[in-house]
Amino acid sequence: MMKRKYLFASLLLTGIILFVAYSCTKDDEIQGSKDRTSNVLIYEDKSLMDEVSPYFYDNHIYQIELLGDNQEREQIVRAALAEGVDEEFLMIDEAQKFHFNHTGVIMYSIPTRDPEQTLILYETEGFYQVSMAHFSPAEGGLMFFELKTMDDREYFSLKLDDQNNVGELKVFENERVKSFNKAVYSLTLSEESQDLTEKGISTNCCRKESSWSNCMKCTVSDCEGSWVCRFTALIAPVELAAGLAASCIGAGPDSRC
């Protein structure tokens, strides 16, 4: 009787152990497949999200992700293929996504079979700018770096020394980059003007305008957006104009707000 009980208990225990082990393996498999489809965080510095350096060369990247096998990666591959890039040339498994703190534009980098070339895609609101970054050793132990649009026209080049110091920075006129910049600018502008409409008032301090007349223009346009100011202009236009004019005296970029 005791032997039977012991045998049953040991079977039950073995069964439980096997069940737990099987479940764990299953969980790992699910987790593994999730990792392959979702992006993996490589680098993140949340402090950089709030503190945006005004300097061009300072750290502006606050997050880097390794892209998983997902729709986002498919989209960037599609954008690259549309620009005539050969899919076989791309090492798509190593595609990375960069987030900047000073712009909403997202950068993707995809290494290629050529170690001296990396495909760079800038994306904003579904617009893509596809470029190819070229690295090559230059004289004096320097590294030459240039960015070209897919029509093989350069728009940016610089040289780096062994301590990553930037030198000989050149920016070239490039129609494709210009039109992408225009698209980004108009998108940003429309978002900002939407914000202004939602808030009802401008967030500008008109006294920061360059001259008295510009300050007046800015104030008048602000006044048009405020019903109290418009009503005051109806009731006491002279007093209102006198007050605004007096306030704009001394307007300039360094004036007090």
Partner 1 sequence: MNSYFKVKFWSLPVVGVICILIGAYLFPFGPDKRPLAELLMLAGIVQFVLFAVWYFIRYRRKSKETVNS
The footprint of partner 1 (CB under 8 A) covers 201-208, 215, 218-219, 222-223, 226, 228-229, 231-232, 235-236, 239-244, 246-248, 251, 257
Secondary structure tally for the chain: helices H, strands E: 7, 9
CB of 216 to partner 1, least distance (A): 8
- Give the C-alpha separation, 55 to 17, whole Å: 59
Our CB check for partner 1 shows the closer of 55 and 227 to be 227
- Nearest approach, Cβ of residue 50 and partner 1 (Å): 20
Q: Compute the least distance from the CB of residue 104 to partner 1, in Å.
A: 23
Cβ proximity to partner 1: between 150 and 220 the closer is: 220
**Rounded least distance, CB 194 to partner 1, Å:** 17
**Looking at beta carbons only, is 76 or 218 nearer to partner 1?**
218
Look at residues 133, 107, 122 and name the one whose alpha carbon lies nearest to residue 183.
Answer: 122
CA distance 69 to 123: 18
Comparison of 148 and 207: residue with beta carbon closer to partner 1:
207
Question: Residues 6 or more apart from 96 whose CB is under 8 A from it?
Answer: 42, 64, 65, 66, 67, 108, 109, 110
What are 29's strand-pairing partners?
none
Q: Name the residue nearer to partner 1 (CB basis): 80 or 251.
A: 251
Cα separation, 82 vs 130, whole angstroms: 10
Residue 2 or 235 with smaller CB distance to partner 1:
235
Three-class secondary structure of residue 124 per DSSP? strand
As measured in angstroms, the least distance from the Cβ of 54 to partner 1 is 20
Q: Is residue 153 left, alpha or beta, with left meaning phi > 0 and alpha meaning psi from -120 to 50?
A: beta
Question: What tokens appear for 222 in the block?
Answer: 């602000």
Nearest distance, CB of residue 244 and partner 1, angstroms: 5
